[in-house]
Amino acid sequence: MDMRVCVLGGGSWGTTVASLAAHNTPTTLWCRDDATATSINERHINSRYLEGYPLHESLRATTDLDAAVSSADLLVMGIPSHSYREALQLAAAFVRPWVPVLSLTKGLEQGTSLRMSQVTNEVLPGHPAGALTGPNLAKEVLAGGAAASVVAMADEVVSDALQAVFSTDLFRVYTNDDVVGCEFGGALKNVVALASGMADGLGTGDNTRAAVITRGLAELTRLGCALGGRPETFAGLTGMGDLVATCISPQSRNRYFGEQLGRGRTVAEIAEEMDQVAEGVKSVPVVVELAASVGVDVPIATEVLGVVRGEQSAQEAYRGLLGRSIRREVEPL
């Protein structure tokens, strides 16, 4: 392929996606850290986040934003939600006209409640904007485990072209024009993963975890549909698939964060030891605010927010959920 790809963000998933793209087309990874760029270029490993997981040998890394972005035919944003707008604004000076922008970020912007593709549309109007999202754990993908993901973009011609950029023998990429549903699925499932992790931290069993995941899926589907997503999207890879992977995997940052909350640690204590962002912690107040704006009940997110804010313990949150009135399992969307 002749499409040149630039990925911004040298974290675990940004690096993994850049390595996937490098199988098919010339790819550059922009990182802030000189040591990370050197490690990738000289050892073909991201020694900070992915030590022991070899990257594609053709992948190149740089700390020069102009050099990385100015020649790109596709810009991929592997930047956390709280830094996404700032990073894109810095890159905007070097992005050529009409270059598609694909987000890897499963979060919502604080203060605006915007999805990342909406932020892209504000910063770079006229550029096709979408997301690459699904049940994808970086280390499993790099280790060669079979996985699937979704390119979410309204323009099917563009999404079909991007599908080929990331597909490999073991990484299957689908397309979906429901950008709203795909992005909300990725953001909302992180909040449920916090709740699932809290259950693990409290020492509950698989029955509890299964109930949290299932009721969490119902909750994110209700809210996601009220915000414009389609029901079938939340039953797919970017909804149920991503939710299950994030809630059960020991590699999941959000599940781990919730587990530590369940063990009685504070948000500040956990965040201090973690080297990467747990997006659910930043997304949960936005999720609860969005739910209130459209009149959707989100009991799991509401209880998680109380724990994140230090207003109650994880044990108290679960008591609150169990104390809710008995109702029908399935309600109309």
Identify the band that residue 211 occupies on the pLDDT scale cut at 50, 70 and 90: very high
Distances (CA, A) of 237 to 126, 133, 154, 166, 243: 28, 8, 17, 16, 9
| Banded model confidence at residue 332, pLDDT cuts 50, 70, 90 | low
Average pLDDT, the chain: 95
What share of the chain in percent tops pLDDT 90? 93
Q: Could you give the domains of the chain?
A: 5-177 (3.40.50.720), 180-322 (1.10.1040.10)
Residues 145-185: tens digit of each pLDDT: 999 999 999 999 999 999 999 999 999 999 999 999 999 99
pLDDT at 322 over 90: no
Question: Distance (Å, rounded) from C-alpha 287 to C-alpha 280?
Answer: 9
Q: What is the mean pLDDT of residues 55-74?
A: 98
Q: What is the mean pLDDT of residues 127-134?
A: 98
Q: Which of 151-155, 250-254, 274-278 has the lowest mean pLDDT?
A: 274-278
Q: Is the pLDDT of residue 325 over 70?
A: no
Banded pLDDT at 320 (limits 50, 70, 90): confident
pLDDT reported for residue 331? 66
Average pLDDT of the residues in 34-58: 96
Q: Specify the pLDDT at position 253.
A: 94
Question: Mind telling me the catalytic residues?
Answer: 189
pLDDT of 2 reads 80
* pLDDT at residue number 1: 61
Q: Is the pLDDT of residue 327 over 80?
A: no
Average pLDDT over residues 179-195: 97
- Which pLDDT score, from 0 to 100, does residue 326 have? 62
Please give the pLDDT value at position 43. 97
Which residue carries 């399935």 as its tokens?
330
Query: Per-residue pLDDT for 333 more than 70?
Result: no
Helices and strands, counts by H and E, the chain: 16, 8
In this prediction, residue 275 carries a pLDDT of 79
Tell me the whole-structure pTM to 2 decimals: 0.94
- Residue-level pLDDT at 330: 67
| Average of per-residue pLDDT across 283-287 | 96
Question: Can you give the pLDDT at residue 216?
Answer: 96
Beta-carbon contacts of residue 42 (< 8 Å; ≥ 6 apart): none
Q: Encode burial over 40-62: b for 16+ CB neighbours within 10 A, e otherwise.
A: beeebbbebbbeebebbeebebb
pLDDT more than 70, % of the chain: 97
CA 220 to CA 109: how far, in whole Å?
18
